[in-house]
Amino acid sequence: MLIVISGPSGVGKTTVIDRLLHHPEIGPELKFSTSATTRKPRPGEIADVSYHFISTQEFERMVAEDAFIEWAHVHGNMYGTPVRELHAAREQGRDLLLEIDVQGAAALREKFPQALMIFLKVSEDMLRKRLQGRPSALSPEDLEKEIALRMSNARDELEQAGHYDHIVENRDLDVTVDEIVSIIRKEKARPRNGAN
């Protein structure tokens, strides 16, 4: 099964996904899809674990070779899901868990309409606080511009939430993870249209 987690920047996707991957019941059944991106690593991010950090030239070569399941321009950078991630999950007999933005999710849904789509959201105030609390190498002025851009994008992304199978409010991490585990269990128990 393909499981997509989307939501605005700062909503807590990475933390929720980490908890899902380490969950005693469903964690062993999941393989996280490491996305490729042209953006620079943030403090604490690890190459080929957090993301495959590649040059714009390399990314464009992969696009030309149809080496992505989906890809999109986001916040001035390019992000994509390499096809090899899907092949690896299939070989391991695991469900592929993807963290992708709404553009990428829409593109993926066109190719895989049976994918389970989950949208995470928080209040606008909480989102701003989380973005302000992130480690950053930007100057205070540039950081404020970046936050303003991400808040604007978040409003646009929230308008797309209705296209998802489930919307989960991430107010409490434990409750959020339990809710997503419950959603995944229910979805795995029922037949889905087509094969993932």
* Beta bridge partner(s), residue 121: 169
What integer pLDDT is reported at residue 192 of this predicted model?
Answer: 56
Domain 2-189 fold is Rossmann fold (3.40.50)
First to last CA, the chain: 5
pLDDT recorded at residue 112: 93
b/e per residue 68-85 (b: at least 16 CB within 10 A): bbbbbebeeebbbbbeeb
Cα gap 121→180, rounded to integer Å: 13
**What is the identity of the amino acid at 130?**
R
**170-189 average pLDDT score:** 95
* Per-residue model confidence as pLDDT tens digits over 157-176: 888 899 999 999 999 999 99
pTM of the model: 0.83
Q: How confident is the model at residue 35 (pLDDT cuts 50, 70, 90)?
A: very high
